[in-house]
Amino acid sequence: MSQTAVIFGCAGTELSAEERVFFKDADPYGYILFKRNCSAPDQIKALTDSFRELAGRDTLPILIDQEGGRVARLQSPTWYKAPPAARFGEILGDDLESAGEAVRLNSRLIGHDLTQLGITVDCLPVLDVPAQDSHEIIGDRAYGSDPDVVAKLGRAAALGLLDLGVLPVVKHIPGHGRAQSDSHLQLPHVDTGRGELEKTDFRPFAALNDLPMAMTAHVVFESIDPYRPATHSLTVIEQVIRGFIGFDGLLMSDDLSMKALLGSFEERASHALEAGCDVALHCNGEMTEMKSVMLGVSALSGRALERAEKALLEMNKAHEPFDPGQTLSRLAGLLDGSQTHIVA
């Protein structure tokens, strides 16, 4: 069976017999891990090995949200405790060269942990530019409120992951920073004009449009498509994401189970692919929902398949030896000794 245009989560720390049968038949493009799936290094490595065994391929996208700060599925003290993105701008904002170096080193340390566990994709960097009155769901996950700073530090974060062979996913394209509600709970609407959005919110994504993967925003941009969130909007994806921003990498939806989206899971998945997402993402591992998602997706083909295959080429590039202790020491120096822990 051809790979299916979907990424799935699983329920626990190991695959059940039902999940093994389902995933073997579904053959998703990849998988995503959450805190519920992560208890110990050996357990996670066994789980990612199980995914590869079922897929029958070693080069497999296995995703995680390991941003640092409050979004970290792998917890200290077992794994490196990364600071939130905003901290780099706060400490080194007047020295963008040092801030960029610190962000890249930080991402290398994150990437090092992931490679030891068989995880190949990190949903980082966050390129959203938070507005002053926006919801705190982005908050300190952003590198700052200046689009150019966000772009520069976001680039550094992506390069740090790529240094270790981990694929970055820019999010939440074309921008979640003005949302006044949490899309996990309800659908945000942004009424800012397109001209202003192009000058601010969309700019970091345009600056990083060459990166291999991006995740959509479940946000309605009323000046572009007043009826549908970006994830389900052919207009936003064609005119803004593929058009103005110029992103031609693999485009995945944000999680289909978020309450910003309406309809059955079959409809949520099919609407995302029909709008121009290459892959649908479903995270919570709930079997009934996943079976419904499968009714709305299809095999990867055409440009979506080309983008999916191109993204994976970055994993197979040669990488230089990495010294976690030396990296942590340099980062601590840049941040005045405030970094504390890594397990090599």
Contact 15, 50 (CB under 8 A): yes
CA distance 216 to 208: 15
Which pLDDT value is given to residue 94?
Answer: 78
CA distance 285 to 247: 29
The three-state secondary structure class of 292 is helix
Helices (H), the chain: 17-26, 41-55, 85-92, 96-117, 147-163, 194-199, 203-207, 234-235, 265-275, 287-296, 302-313, 324-334
Q: Which residues are catalytic?
A: 184, 254
| Residue 39 CB burial class (10 angstroms; 0-12, 13-18, ≥19) | middle
Give the residue among 131, 135, 159 at the shortest CA–CA distance from 147.
131
* Residue keyed to tokens 């068989």: 118
What would the two tokens of residue 309 be? 């295959």
Number of H helices, E strands in the chain: 12, 12
Whole-prediction pTM = 0.95
* Residue keyed to tokens 């389902």: 22
Which pLDDT value is given to residue 182?
Answer: 81
Which pLDDT value is given to residue 339?
Answer: 44
CA distance 3 to 305: 9
Which pLDDT value is given to residue 340?
Answer: 40
| Residue 283 CB burial class (10 angstroms; 0-12, 13-18, ≥19) | buried
Which pLDDT value is given to residue 23?
Answer: 98
Q: Give me the tens of pLDDT residue by residue for the chain, a chain 344 residues long.
A: 489 999 999 999 999 999 999 999 999 999 999 999 999 999 999 999 999 999 999 999 999 999 999 999 999 999 999 999 999 988 877 788 999 999 999 999 999 999 999 999 999 999 999 998 888 889 999 999 999 999 999 999 999 999 999 999 999 999 999 988 888 989 999 999 999 999 999 999 999 999 999 999 999 999 999 999 999 999 999 999 999 999 999 999 999 999 999 999 999 999 999 999 999 999 999 999 999 999 999 999 999 999 999 999 988 777 878 999 999 999 999 987 444 444 43
Instruction: Check residue 299 and report its DSSP letter.
Output: B
Query: Which residues fall within 8 angstroms of residue 329, CB to CB, at 6 or more apart?
Result: none
What would the two tokens of residue 213 be? 């993967």
Instruction: Provide the pairing of β-strand 71-72 with 66-68.
Output: antiparallel
Where do the domains of the chain lie, and which CATH numbers do they carry? 4-334 (3.20.20.300)
Going from the C-alpha of 41 to that of each of 25, 55, 82, 166, 326, the distances in angstroms are: 28, 21, 18, 17, 22
Query: Which residues fall within 8 angstroms of residue 181, CB to CB, at 6 or more apart?
Result: 135, 187, 188
Which pLDDT value is given to residue 1?
Answer: 46
CA angle, residues 335, 109, 88, in degrees to nearest 5: 30
Which pLDDT value is given to residue 92?
Answer: 72
